[in-house]
Amino acid sequence: MFWLEVASCELWLIETHDRSGKKTLWTVLISTITRTVLNYIRGENYMVTFHRFFCIFMVISFTLLVASPALAVKTATWTQQNHKNFASGTLESVAISSNGKVMLAHKLKKIADETEELYIWCLAEDSLGNIYAGTGNKGKIYKVTPDGQFSLFYNSPEVSILSLAIDVQNNIYAGTAPSGLVYKISAGGNTPTTILNADENYVWSLAFDKSGNLYAATGTNGRLYKITPAGKADVLFDSDETNLTSLLFHNDQIYAGSDGKGTIFRIEMDGTVSVIHQTGQKEVRALVAGTDGDIFAGTVTTQSPQPGQGKPRQRPSSPPTPDGKPPEPKKSSIYRITPDDVVSRLWVAPDPLVLSMVMEEDNLIVGTGDSGKVYRVDMDGNFVSLAKCEAGQVIAMHKARSGKLVLATGNAGKIFELADEYEAKGTLTSVSHDTKSVSQWGKIHWEGSLPEGTVMTLATRSGNTEKPDNTWSNWSEELSKPDGSQITSPPARFVQWRSTLSTSVATAAPVLEKVRVASVHFNVAPNIEDLKIHIGPPPKERQNNKKGSSPNNKIRSATWKAKDLNDDKLLFAVYYKGINEKNWKLRKKELTDPSYTWDSTSMPNGRYELKVEATDKLSNMENKAISIEKISDPFDIDNTQPVLAEIKSNPTDDSTFQISCVVTDELSPISSASYKIDSAEHWQAMFPEDGILDSHREVLLLETKKREGEEHTITIMVADASGNKSVARGSF
């Protein structure tokens, strides 16, 4: 019962915490004490009152002990205001322009979604306003009347109807796969006539010229066929590519796009061919003419949908790059070709497939895959995402005589109309933002525009997992003050916002341009680790010294690593004391770098400890600053040189000498010994009788080689572990 009471008290504490974040746990504690005293004065049962107070006190004390939060004064802001920021979130019935404006998406009205086909490859319109759709993988042609009636027009024996064209008499021409045929079907839907049956597998595109000649772009031999009104078919152009995938008749010339090198060809009426540009991309999928004589070519960088292909599987991720980073996502492009054949890249699509394009006034409407997005691109390359189809690929588009923009999709095969009206409601949910540590939220600001009849609100939620889950708080109430609404979500490490856009006027939409969230961290104690004491300057400084130079053994240095999760600016102070002393003595304060160097001769010989204190007071209010300390391992200060006794020499029978010398050091063990005889250039190592230099007293021994001459000089140099050196000379 006691812990149930504690838990209920803790819930009461959370509910009591001021939404503005200005009431702390200490405030609640003081308030509780006051309430307890008042209740006692009023006559409430003393034990009940005291029990409630004790439970609350236990919860608060435990929370303060574990979390020890203190608000830092440095305010952090998270701002999102461009296409990349907003596009990283989750969009539902909203669109984002290239200049970072979020607005409601256009409505997509379903014309046909019961085709039972995987792909609708092509669209064409007759003079009466009937729209025909060629499909796969059942090779059917459907008809949509101006009033929206949808019916089967022709059921072919082929797998796919890849291309359609309609002449001035409303005869329908259909290019197929896998037999590479071209059918001619009268407007009444009579039995078709095969007008092209060549050694091909695919008829990818069909186009008429002004004289009524029909051109067919084919694969897998990459040929362009010309079919006269009389039905005579000849090869006009035999390319080196596997497939000619797109066609356009423009200014009495035929333009063709290919796969392989992504080449754009121009073919004159007499069969003369020239290459305008090689894009280097996988396929030139679409060609359209602009209003001022320009031509636009849409390309793909990955495998586009293929006839007879089943439902695409999820593409495996590409292997990482040599530096271990994930590969950049592949993006398609649209190229502009001016009348004088100047080629430039107009737009790089955010999607891997540019599958279809039409001109609408001075803008391109572009259908993409594999996310089914439709974009509007202006002549400066600025773009906005207009809509997102529920199907994965927008394979074909047609601007109808009525002004309707008709879309055909793949995966699955459906037909839509892209309406001028906006969706009534849409949302943009941001990515979760990591503040790196538990934070208190301030206000959320946003900027944009609200035409009459439109509304825009924002809501927030918070949690302590990177990906929002059921441990996160619920979405807050909708906030409506763009110039600063207080965030009511509880303190946490992660935060997320959701913008809701709505309109009651079908032709007007609100626009969101910028969102800014303010927060302040709970102050977290800094951390010091890897505190080390060095003989000589810090290792990094030694690396900059000349190679071969020996460190100054009278210099000592301390280095450490310091971290602060709040990114607060830290100040350091260095103290020292003898190993048996109680009081620390200040060595240096107000250090900003994690290192300190000093002259060890200012300290008496002995064993010491060093203490480094770090504080974040520069980034916090004085009463909220946190200081921590780290104590080094004991180290020795020894500025006394080793003592070399007299060098002794004893001759042997074979004209060599036994050299010996005793060396002693009170504070540090001997660490090295070397010698020179006469005018030798190099020092040679010298060893004690046990072969190991590790003691405060060592007996150095040496047996010389045979020497000519009557007298020789030996110089012995020794050093202790603190770097102190001594030199002695003798004769033998």
Dump pLDDT digits (tens) for 496-518. 999 999 999 999 999 999 999 99
Task: State percent of the chain over pLDDT 90.
Answer: 65
- Residue 255 confidence (pLDDT): 97
Cross-strand partners of 212 = none
**Helix (H) or strand (E) segment spanning residue 52:** helix 46-67
Among residues 685, 658, 689, the alpha carbon closest in space to that of 672 is found at: 685
3-class SS string, 4-45: HHHHHHHHHHHHHCCCCCCCCHHHHHHHHHHHHHHHHHHCCC
For 515-541, the pLDDT digits (tens) are 999 998 888 889 999 999 998 888 887
- Tokens 């190592």 belong to 685
Check whether 233 has a pLDDT greater than 70. yes
Coil/strand/helix, residue 324? coil
Question: Rounded to whole angstroms, what are the CA distances from 643 to 22, 102, 662, 696, 726?
Answer: 69, 82, 8, 10, 7
Task: Kindly calculate the radius of gyration of the chain based on its CA atoms and give it in whole angstroms.
Answer: 42
pLDDT higher than 60, residue 20: no
Task: Tell me: pLDDT of 22 over 80.
Answer: no
In this prediction, residue 624 has a pLDDT band, given cuts at 50, 70 and 90, of confident
Q: Which residue has the tokens 């405060």?
A: 696
Strand, helix or coil for residue 714:
strand
What pLDDT is attached to residue 28? 40
Of the given ranges (241-245, 293-297, 689-693), which has the lowest mean pLDDT? 689-693
Tokens 């290239």 found at: 98
The rounded distance, in Å, linking the Cα atoms of 586 and 569 is 21
**Tokens 């520069």 correspond to what residue?**
618
Is the pLDDT at 544 greater than 80? The verdict is no
Flag the least confident range among 61-65, 282-286, 560-564, 680-684. Answer: 61-65
* Interatomic CA distance for residues 363 and 528, integer angstroms: 60
pLDDT at 453: 96
Amino acid 392: pLDDT: 86
pLDDT digits (tens, 9 = 90+) for 685-704: 999 988 899 899 999 998 88
DSSP symbol at 633: P
- Nearest-CA neighbor of 355 among 394, 381, 389, 392? 394
Q: How many CA atoms lie within 13 A of 471 on its CB side?
A: 8
Examine the pLDDT at 681 and tell me if it is beyond 90.
no
**Average model confidence (pLDDT) across the chain:** 85
Q: How are beta strands 725-731 and 713-720 bridged, if at all?
A: antiparallel
**Per-residue pLDDT reduced to its tens digit, 72-123:** 557 889 999 999 999 999 999 999 999 999 999 999 999 988 788 999 999 9
Q: Read off the DSSP letter of residue 212.
A: S
Give the pLDDT of residue 26. 41
In this predicted structure, the answer to whether residue 580 has a pLDDT above a threshold of 80 is yes
**Dihedral sign, CA of 455, 461, 466, 470?**
negative
User: On the CB side of 613, how many CA atoms lie within 13 Å of its CA?
Assistant: 16
In residues, how long is the chain?
Answer: 732
Specify the pLDDT at position 304: 67
Segment 69-73 mean pLDDT: 52
Q: What is the dihedral of CA 579, 580, 583, 587, to 10 degrees?
A: -30
CA 43, 45, 49, 52 torsion-angle sign: negative
Supply the pTM of this predicted model.
Answer: 0.65
Q: Is the bond leading into 137 cis (omega within 30 degrees of zero)?
A: yes
pLDDT value for 393: 93
CA 384, CA 90: separation in Å to the nearest integer? 16
Residue 258 — very low, low, confident or very high, per pLDDT cuts 50/70/90?
very high
pLDDT at 105: 95
